[in-house]
Amino acid sequence: MRTQRSRVASWALAVFVAGSLPLASIVGRDARAQEKEAPTVGTIERLDPRLDQIVSRDARVERIAEGFDWSEGPVWDRRGGFLLFSDVPRNTVFKWQQGKGVNVFLKPSGYTGTTPRGGEPGSNGLLMDSQGRLILCQHGDRRVARLEAGGTFTTLADRYNGKRFNSPNDGVFKSNGDLYFTDPPYGLIGLNADPAKELDFNGVYRLSA
Q: Which pTM does this prediction carry? A: 0.80
Q: Where in the chain is the domain with CATH 2.120.10.30?
A: 3-20+68-207
DSSP tag of 40: B
**Strand residues in the chain grouped as ranges (E):** 3-6, 17-19, 23-27, 60-65, 71-77, 82-87, 92-97, 101-106, 123-128, 134-138, 143-147, 153-157, 159-160, 163-164, 171-173, 179-183, 203-207
Distances (CA, A) of 135 to 79, 81, 95: 15, 17, 15
Amino acid at 144: V
Cα–Cα distance, 28 to 57 (Å, whole number): 8
Q: What is the pLDDT along the chain (209 residues), one digit of tens a residue?
A: 445 443 333 222 233 334 444 555 544 444 444 445 667 778 889 999 999 999 999 888 888 899 999 999 999 999 999 999 999 999 999 999 999 999 999 999 999 999 988 889 999 999 999 999 999 999 999 999 999 999 999 999 999 999 999 999 999 999 999 999 999 999 999 999 999 999 999 999 999 98
Task: Please tell us whether the domain made up of 3-20+68-207 is placed in CATH 1.10.630.10.
Answer: no
Which residues, listed in sequence order, are joined to residue 126 by a DSSP beta bridge?
Answer: 136
